[in-house]
Each structure stands twice: as C-alpha cells, then as structure tokens.
Structure 1
C-alpha cells in the first residue's frame, strides 16, 4: 500500500472532509500520525508529518493565526484539519489565506464527524501500510536467505539483492578494498555507495556496498547480517576440519600412531601423502584461540569453499601441506598476509618437498626452523640439528638421520661399503685418524680416502665442529632406530 496522504482522506466519503486550499490535491507528504491539540503553541510537541486536528478553541488574533500556520508549514506538518461547528461555524478566512500562502494543506471537518473517527481511519491505514511493509520485507529476507543457502555463493545472493534494490549494482568489498564479488559483474561501484559491514564475532571482515536511497538500507543491512552469519557458520566448519587434521599431524609427528595408520588417516583428510609435499608453517604469537577464529579468506568462506590446500591448526601453529606442483611461494605469501592481521611479525617457513609420512615429519621440522628466522617467508636451507635445537623444534631423529646420511647409506648398499661403520668409529674415537685406523685395522691412507668420500656424500666438513655434531646426531639416531644402543 502507498503511504497515507491528504488526498486519500478527502476521497473517503464517510469522513466528509472538505479541502480548503489548493495544496490538498498536490500534497505528497505522507501522514505519519495524527495529533489533536488545542494548545496555544503546539509546535514544540510535534515531530513533523502529522495530521494536526484542532477546533481553534484557543482565541488568536489574525496575526497569531498567521504566525501559527507559518510555523506549522515550516515544521512541516502533513496537513491541518480544522473542525467546525463547535467553536467556529466555518474555518476562519485568515487561516485559509495563511495556509494557501504558506503552502499548507488545509481541510475542514464538520462537527458530525468526530476527530476520533478521522484518527482511527488514519491509524488503520498506517498500520496496514506498516504490516504490508513488514510482510514484503520478510518475503525479501526469506528470498535472500534461500539464495545464499542454495549454494550459489556470493553471486547468487548479490543477483537477488540487485533485483530488490531496484536493479542497483551491488558488491562485497574486503576491508582491504579488494572487490570480492559484484553484480552485475562489470558494474562500477560509485564512491558514494552506502556501505554495511559484514562482521564475524563483532569484527568487520568485509562490506556490502550499493548506491541506494534510504528506504533500501534495511534490505542492504539484512544482506550484510546474513552474509556474516553464513561466513561465521562455514568458518566454524573449516575450523573443525583444520583442528581434526591438526590432531592427525600431531599424532604423526609424535609417533602416537604408526606410519601406516598415519598414511591412512592423512589420505582420509585428502592429503596426497604419497606425492612430494612442502610443509608451510607459521607460529602466531598470542593465545591459540585467535588463530582458530581468524577468517582467513572471506571470499572462500562466503562461497563455502574448502581450503585450497590441506590446512592444520595445532594450538597457535598453522600448517599447510602443499603439493610440490603448486606455487608454494605464492601460497606462503598469502598465509603470511592473512596471519599478519594477528601477528605483524609472523614468520612463515617453507620446507623442501618430500613424500610420505617421514617426509612430513622432516618437512615440519624444516619449516619450523625456517620460520624461526623472523618476519616474512623463509625457505628451508640444509637441515641443521643445532639450528633445530636453537629453534626449540622437536627433532624427528630417525627421519633426520636418514635424510642426512641418505647418499652415504645408498653408496654402502650399492658398493657393499663400510662408510657408515667408518664414520661411527671416527666419531667414537674423538675424530682421531690414527686411533680410528687402528680400531678398524685399515691403513691410514684408506681411512683418509673413506673420510673424503663421506664428506662428499654428506656435504659436511669433518674439520668443522658443527658438521661433526650434525653427523654424530645422525649416526646416533640411526643406531637407535636399528636397535643399537
């Protein structure tokens, strides 16, 4: 229904209202409410847009009538209804002239029609108008909810919102100013657009924007609210999945489950563990729940898409398992940008790509060591046991040993060699060539040849203390894995 106007009142025969000025037929200001008054000065008690009813009980001079009518017109009220037959037989001429000149709609109400009858009619129409508006608004809201839940994502919601906003272009914009979605696709968004925040846990993460008149703002606000609820709902789903994968990764790292069970559980989490994978890792400063609640990608959440890469959350550590074929540098940079909201100094480490459960363990240690270098993205260098210890990383000793000594072990297997035995004896005898040669019953020249070959295969310099420590850890870990003391 259209808003109640003075023309509507005049057309109701039962009210018997008589227009007294030419403005009654042209007045477009809707009547917001009815106010009956006989006060000397009713203006302070009016808010504007009322239909003011009076019998003119308070005596006024012509000058006072002019002043009152002028003030009512400037407020402005919707119309003045003057009741006759009680105090005044007809509407005073001065009131008619003043209303005509001031542009005020003026109607006469005969004594036979009580003011309460006029008030009831206007109230019924206003309530009917409000009911229709609420019903229409509920229908719009229901359609927007169904559009979002239908699985069509942001574009589905925006296409319906576009229709209900009078075919006005609409967009969802991230807090960084990046347009996440818009409809129509190529529409330009004016700088003067009305913006309504999309919030998760009362934290704004995006804005719904459209260049609309005021009466459409409630629709835009509702769209922003349901979008925030949908994003929060899907974030909760993704957070649960990330924590479940985090538990699997944690069990694998701590050897709580066997490698076979680890492979099976990782496969169920869609981790391609049989292929080489990078581990991308970041530790966020502060409470762990901040990482859980962070909306990493608003567009992804609104479209109900899963993580592009398997993502695990372990306390305040985010772990991404990225296939070797993916653009790992770009993915690591995106992770850094997202987590910088929580920790501007966050460091992201990127491991070498390795396959299997052992590769995941060693990759985790590598990435954690690399990330400990400081803010930004850091790729892992050669594994350093001392660096891992300094970074506070739990060492995957068996995997570390196999990685450090891989080429040496392969040489021994292919050539029936004794390089591992030689290295163990050399380290056990305090790196003394003469004592080691005697213990192995080999000539000192043969020992020197073996030691040079060990250095070439491992990439370590036996003259450097840190390299000796690396090799000692590797040999000790390998011996423990083989059941030796």
Structure 2
C-alpha cells in the first residue's frame, strides 16, 4: 500500500498538505504517537498518526519532524487537538525535511484510519503469500517434471526478472549463458566472510555443498543485489535439489569405474570392460592420478569431478586408497583442468593438490599410463617443494640471510650472477604457481619420468658418485663448475651456444669444461659419459 492509496479513499478524506510528489512512498505499518521525539520506536516506512499534543513552540515541530525524517517514515498524518489549522511551523518543518504531511479531518477518529490501514496491509500480505506460493509451485513443477538444471535456472530467472547462472568452484558455468569474469566471482565467493554476498553487480548465493565445504559448493549467481531476496534463496535451494540429482546420476554412470580402474592398475585385460563402458574401442584414453597433501581424497575427488564434467564428458572417476584416479577419452582438456584447479585455490587453504595426467594411449597401454600419471603426480610434488624452497631462499636473500653458496655467487660478476639465477629457474622447472600442480605426460621428458621412479636416496647417491669431485671443488674454491657443466650439456655440447648463455668467451668456457673433465676423469666428447653426467645433474 502507498500513501496515494490512502489519499484516494473517500471515507478517510485525508488531504495532502506537504509532499504531493512523494505520494508513491510505500506504507509498511502504522504507528500512533504523542512523544516529542519518537525515533526510538520507528524503523522506517510507517504512517505516523499524531494529535500534536506534544506541540508547544515552533522548536517542538522541528524536533518532532527531524526525528521522523531520520527514521525514514512514509508520512505524517496529523490533526490539531481543536478545530484549528495545522501549525505553520509543522508545515515548514515537513517541507524542509521531505516528510509528506496529511491533514486528518477533526471529525475522523484515528481508530477508523487504523482499521482501514491494518486491513489493507493484511490483504497485501495475503496477496504476497499467494504470489510466493504460486512461484514456489511453478519452480517445483520444473523440478518434479525432470526439466533439468538449465530449465530450472531459466524458470528462476523469469520469476526473479533477472539473469541467473550456476557456477562450480572450478569456474565452469554449470547452467546459464556465458558469464565473463566467472573465475573472479568464484574467488570472491571463496573468500567472502558471509553469504549471500552482493559484489560486482551480482549476488552470490551458496548451493548445497558436499561435506558442508564452500570449496565443493555450487554458486547461484543472480544479477543485481538480491542478498535479502527470498525468491533467490528459494531458487538456490531448488538448484541444490537438482545438484543432488546430477551427482547421483554421475555415481550411477561411474559404477563401472572402480572395477575398471582397479583392473587397469592390476594390469589385467580391460578390453571387455572398456566396451561395457560404451567407449570407442579405437579411441585413445588418458589416465589421471591425483592426491592432496592433507589426505583429503574427498576434496580432490569433488574438484576433479567438477572440472572433468565440464571438459571431458564420459569420464570415469574413483578413489583407490589415498589417490583419486580418473579415466577419460583423450582430448584438449588438460589445460582446462589446470585452469579449473587454479580458480579453486583460494578455497584450498594450505592443502596442496597434485595431479598427474598420462599421455594419450590405447587400451593396451593403460597400465603404463596409470604408472605414468602417478609418476607425473609425484614429479608435481617435487616441483612444488622446489618452488617453495626457491621462494624461501629468495626471501632470505632479500633479508640478507644468504646461504654460503648464495654468498659466493653474490661475490662473482654480474654475468655469472645472471647465470646462477637462470640455473635456479632451471632447477625449479616450468611449473604452476600456487597450491596446485598439474603435470601432463607429454610435458615430462623420458629421463624425468625414469628419475621420478627412483628413490631419493638412490638419486643422491648417483649424483654424488658421478659429480662428487666437482661439487667438492666448487665448495672449496667458491666456483661454479657444476653450473658451467649443466649449461654446456643443456646446449648439447655446443661451445658457442653455451658461451653465449654464460656470457663468457669461448676460451674461458673451454678452460672451465676442461677443468671439470680433469676432476671427473671424464671425456665430454663421449656421448655415453655425457648422458651419465646429464642424468646425475638432473637427479639433484
């Protein structure tokens, strides 16, 4: 109900004195008062009734009206105690503060006004409840008839009169049109102190999370500020119902995943099971192996499920002990999985997620692909450890807490300092930042794959046995022959290329390599010895 509706009731005969252009203000409730400052009892939207018993001076009018204006009342309906005009000071105060003023006829009781307003507000609430019930029934019909998530989101958008989307915490749009900046909205959702939250011109509402975690939730995105909109909250709950249906459907489709993947890991014949899944017998497949640093297999499984569902339809997913394995047709989805896990990182806390993905293989090579994926996952773990070590060392360097070998490097010339920095980058590898690491099989050189399967103590022993004399010489003389040797072998023994990367003269390079050969008792023109030394360098 609005002020205009009250003015239009002929039996009330309310006359607008001030605020004729403000008659569209809504009235939410009625409040009668004779207090000089009633602000403590007002919450906004009231039609205030007063007989002006508080009025003594013009200052009283200013105090009373400013109190009403500060609370955001809808209007003041006033009647003088006797057959007199409304005080001029009251009219002026209402004009000054923008409070609509209605004059009540002296022969009209406030009880009559109260009765009419209460009846009108009650009728409106019944109408609102009916509208809510109708909306609820329409949305429930979509769910009951199996219309699916997309149809439900479309129906919800029509009811709300605003575009709607559903996002996974991997940044993928599960339902709705394209949504630019979806990854940024996910990050806002993951770090929000409370939900729903209005941000960037939309409202983010949580949809049922698996295990109660925000990281594994879906997000209902509604255009505009709908944080207090009951219809938006209702739509989010119904999307949660549809999500449960989607998850259940995936689990039914994945019933063959456990036996199939266990047979893959055991090296058995999987041809019959592949056919049972319904895949093309000739199509190449990929195996995914993943784990979490805190052992939370359920979180990794949920994240992989959401990321693969969007980019690798038909995937199979199951957990085996402390690892999650997935099997999917080969396709250009590796980068998509990498990007999805990066988006989800703000919700991971200190948890590290490691994912290894095999190269595309036929069905006969699935056992090897599973081992390759596990090796790639372990290689990703090493990369993250190296990255953290490098970041810690950089912090120590900035604070002046340099390690002995770093102090020696700082004492050398600028060319060799640049070399040391590049060597540090080389040792760290080209890896992902943050708390997740995805390594695909084709990104791993054969020697890396072989070394990843060798125990760490054995790798250290190999490195020491082959490179020990040079390592000792560098430690005693503050030199970097091991770095020179690494660059020389990286450049396939090219004197010109290696000298250019080291920023030294070719003769200087020849002297250093010769000194290394003398210490090692090796001949770097011999291909076999080059391979041995290269592997020893990579093992460190």
Shorter-chain TM-score bucket reads 0.5 to 0.7
Residue of structure 1 aligned with 2:91, choices 82, 92, 97: 97
- Within 5 Å, which residues of 2 pair with 1:2-81? 4-14=1-11, 16-19=12-15, 21-23=17-19, 26-73=22-69, 75-81=71-77
Change (3 A) 1:100 1:293: closer
What residue number does 2:158 align with? Answer: 163
Q: CA deviation at 1:79?
A: 1.9
Map 1:47-446; keep pairs closer than 5 Å. Answer: 47-73=43-69, 75-83=71-79, 87-94=81-88, 97-98=91-92, 101-102=95-96, 103-110=98-105, 113-147=108-142, 155-166=150-161, 168-172=162-166, 182-183=176-177, 192-199=200-207, 200=209, 201-203=212-214, 207-212=219-224, 217-239=229-251, 241-242=253-254, 245-250=257-262, 253-254=265-266, 264-270=272-278, 277-285=285-293, 286-294=295-303, 296-297=305-306, 300=309, 307-323=313-329, 326-327=330-331, 330-338=332-340, 341=345, 344=352, 346-350=354-358, 353-355=361-363, 359-374=365-380, 375=437, 376-379=439-442, 381=446
Change over 3 Å in CA distance of 1:140–1:118 after alignment to 2: same
Q: Identify if the C-alpha distance between structure 1 residues 176 and 309 changes in structure 2 by more than 3 Å, giving closer, same or farther.
A: closer
Once residues 73 and 363 of structure 1 are traced to their aligned partners in structure 2, the CA distance between those partners, rounded to angstroms, is: 73
Distance 1:175 1:283 in 2: 18
8 Å Cα contact 1:235-1:295 kept in structure 2: no
- What displacement does 1:226 show? 3.1
Unmatched 5+ residue regions in structure 2? 186-198, 381-436, 457-527, 529-540
> Normalised by the size of structure 2, how large is the TM-score?
0.55
CA displacement at 1:54 relative to structure 2:
1.9
Is the 2:77–2:101 contact (alpha carbons within 8 Å) kept by the matching residues of 1? yes
The number of aligned residues is 373
For residues 336 and 310 of structure 1, the distance between their equivalents in structure 2, rounded to whole angstroms, comes to 18
Cα 1:137–1:105 change in 2 (3 A) is: same
Contact 2:288-2:325 within 8 A present in 1 as well: yes
Report the counterpart of residue 482 of structure 1 in structure 2: none
Computing the radius of gyration from Cα coordinates, the structure with the larger value is: 1
| Contact 1:277/1:321, CA 8 A, preserved across alignment | yes
Q: Deviations over 1:6-45 (max 9, x none)?
A: 232233344x343151535752211121111122321332
Report the Cα distance in structure 2 between the residues aligned to 1:320 and 1:360, rounded to whole angstroms.
Answer: 12
After superposition, what is the alpha-carbon deviation per residue over 1:69-115, rounded to whole angstroms, capped at 9, x for unaligned?
3443454322222245xx43345433663366344333344566543
Write out per-residue CA displacement over residues 92-143 of structure 1, whole angstroms, 9 at most, x where no aligned residue.
Answer: 4336633663443333445665433322322222232233223323433443
Contact between 1:48 and 1:77, CA under 8 Å: does it hold in 2?
A: yes
Q: Distance in 2 between matches of 1:345 and 1:384?
A: 20
Helix, strand or coil: the match of 2:224?
Answer: coil
Give the match's secondary structure for 2:19: helix
Shift in Å at residue 265 of structure 1?
Answer: 5.0
Partners of 1:26 and 1:383 lie apart in 2 by 76
Match of 2:68, SS state, is helix
Q: Secondary structure at the residue paired with 1:47?
A: coil
Q: Is the 8 A contact 1:51 1:80 kept in 2?
A: yes
Change (3 A) 1:43 1:284: closer
Superposition CA RMSD, Å: 4.5
Distance 2:316 2:296 in 1: 23
Classify 1:74/1:344 alpha carbon distance in 2 versus 1 (closer, same or farther; 3 Å): closer
Matches of 2:17 and 2:264 in 1, distance apart? 88
Pair 338,68 (structure 1): closer, same or farther in 2 beyond 3 Å: closer
Alpha-carbon separation, structure 1, partners of 2:284 and 2:14: 89
**For structure 1, which runs of at least 5 residues remain unmatched after alignment?**
392-460, 462-485
| Partner Cα distance (1:315, 1:337) in 2 | 26
